[in-house]
Amino acid sequence: MADLDQVLSYVDRERQRFVADLVTWCRIPSISSSEQHRGEVRRSAEHLRERLMALGCTTSAILETKLHPAVYAEWMVDPSKPTLLIYGHHDVQPIDPLPEWHSPPFEPEEREGRLWGRGTVDDKGQVLIHVNAIEAFLRGGGALPINIKMIVEGEEEIGSAHLDDLMQEHRDRLSADFVVVSDTAMFGRGIPSLCVGLRGIAYFDITVRALTMDAHSGSFGGGVQNPANALARLIAGLHDENGAITIAGFYDRVRTLTEGERKEIAALPFDEKAWLASVGATAVAGEKGYSTLERVWTRPTLDINGLSSGFQGKGPKTVLPAFASAKLSCRLVPDQDPREIAKLVEAHFQKHAPAGCSVEVDYLHGGHPYLAPTDHPVYEIAKRAFTRAFGQPTVFIREGGSIPFVRTIADRTGKPCLLMGFGQPDENAHAPNEWLDLENYHLGIKSAVYLYDELSRTK
Ligand SMILES: [Zn+2]
């Protein structure tokens, strides 16, 4: 059994070299959405695989998909010990607009206790947190306390296009007792946070038609339907005066928050003013009876994301547009189902379309919401591990956004997905000037050390 103090002091000793290793990996521009960077994504996968092989993994492989490869490795130390599956990704977001970067995106630079560069926090740094913790056990303590499997995909930033195929194909290999994903952010600086809920999504194109061509607004205005007017009325009717969505059946599957959950959310040090200011908003808005965090994390939404119709140029042009269209998205919460919501949205528009107008509802894509089974003992274990590293109580948080791969992993492994993220809310993950807090990186490695140690006592 590894001596934990020795493992932790190894982490302290190697602190700078762990940063240098991250810099080396981040120099590989593994932009998965760019055809030109296809070779770089592969180089990134091979770089990681070499690192994992140097740590004496018992098996490793480049897992091919139809596009970018994933990396797989395992350290099977003892079949009687629990097995942890770690998920991460090695691909990164594009870098444009390049002029806004203060230092070159693929030449990571250390400033103000942060490492600036594409991929530092999303997600190469978070992958290396685990790799470094594994190294610390092996070289600092002599052995790993649990079996570890690691899958690091190369397509997360393009929607994990082939992750489901991969997980089906390698189902036996990927079986584990616990699953941890490190690809999210903490609630705030120094507040260790486990993300336990994600919203899903359903996305639509709505088109209202009434005429076969744009018509003269003098000759026909007031005598036929105007699709733009009709769409505006339909949209206005989607929410009632309390901000609730009026689509029949929309809330049928929405889980009510428990008193305990509401208390937990209310206790978080949420700076509403700063949150509003971050997008220049001057007032909160939304469904009556809920706090802002409750609205953003635990309630479904329906929002227009784009609107177009008729004449869009400068100056006047008197036409009745032939059609009007809108992009519409719903953020979904447990247990809403995107396909079911798609049927309800379609039925609503067909029912309320005025005579003389036809409505087309095109369901573009969807993703399921996720809610972690927080009564599973692994959540208490993770809380304890995280708290030991950061010296602060660990909080449960949710995220208003959607991370489709979490549902894929949870469904395919049949295990709860522990979202133990080490990012910061303002770390510019998909924007210019992405950065990783180096103190978080260091404490993240220690959190992983404590987590593996705690998990070793579960069998
Ligand atoms: Zn990510």
Residue 404 CA, ligand 1 centroid: distance in Å: 11
Q: Which amino acid is at 136?
A: A
Q: Single out the residue of 449, 438, 409 nearest to residue 22, CA to CA.
A: 438
**H/E element, 371:** strand 370-371
Question: 249: pLDDT confidence band, cut at 50, 70 and 90?
Answer: very high
CB contact set of 59 (below 8 Å; sequence gap of 6+): 72, 73, 74, 76
State the pLDDT at residue 27.
98
Percentage, residues of the chain above pLDDT 90: 92
pLDDT tens-digit series, residues 126-146 = 999 999 999 999 999 999 999
State the pLDDT at residue 161.
87
Residue 244 CA, ligand 1 centroid: distance in Å: 32
pLDDT tens-digit series, residues 354-410 = 999 999 999 998 989 999 999 999 999 999 999 999 999 999 999 998 887 898 889
Place of tokens 């140029």: 313
- Tell me if residue 72 falls in helix, strand or coil: strand
Question: 231: pLDDT confidence band, cut at 50, 70 and 90?
Answer: very high
The burial of 229, by beta-carbon neighbours within 10 Å (0-12 exposed, 13-18 middle, 19 or more buried), is given as middle
Question: 2: pLDDT confidence band, cut at 50, 70 and 90?
Answer: low
All structural domains of the chain: 4-198+369-458 (3.40.630.10), 200-254+300-367 (3.30.70.360)
pLDDT tens-digit series, residues 320-329 = 999 999 999 9
Instruction: State how far the Cα of 344 lies from the Cα of 418, in Å rounded to an integer.
Output: 32
Instruction: State how far the Cα of 235 lies from the Cα of 227, in Å rounded to an integer.
Output: 12
**H/E element, 232:** helix 227-236
Residue 83 CA, ligand 1 centroid: distance in Å: 23
State the pLDDT at residue 425.
86
The burial of 357, by beta-carbon neighbours within 10 Å (0-12 exposed, 13-18 middle, 19 or more buried), is given as buried
Whether 155 is a known active-site residue: answer: no
Computed over every residue of the chain, the mean pLDDT equals 95
Catalytic residue among 40, 91, 123, 437: 91
Whether 156 is a known active-site residue: answer: yes
Q: Single out the residue of 437, 433, 450, 436 nearest to residue 103, CA to CA.
A: 433
Catalytic residue among 156, 183, 346, 434: 156
Residue 332 CA, ligand 1 centroid: distance in Å: 21
pLDDT tens-digit series, residues 365-381 = 898 999 999 999 999 99
Whether the predicted pLDDT of 1 surpasses 70: no
pLDDT tens-digit series, residues 263-308 = 999 999 999 999 999 889 999 999 999 999 999 999 999 999 999 9
pLDDT tens-digit series, residues 80-119 = 999 999 999 999 999 999 999 999 999 999 999 999 999 9
Q: Are 48 and 71 in contact (CB under 8 A)?
A: yes
CB contact set of 250 (below 8 Å; sequence gap of 6+): 300, 302, 341, 344
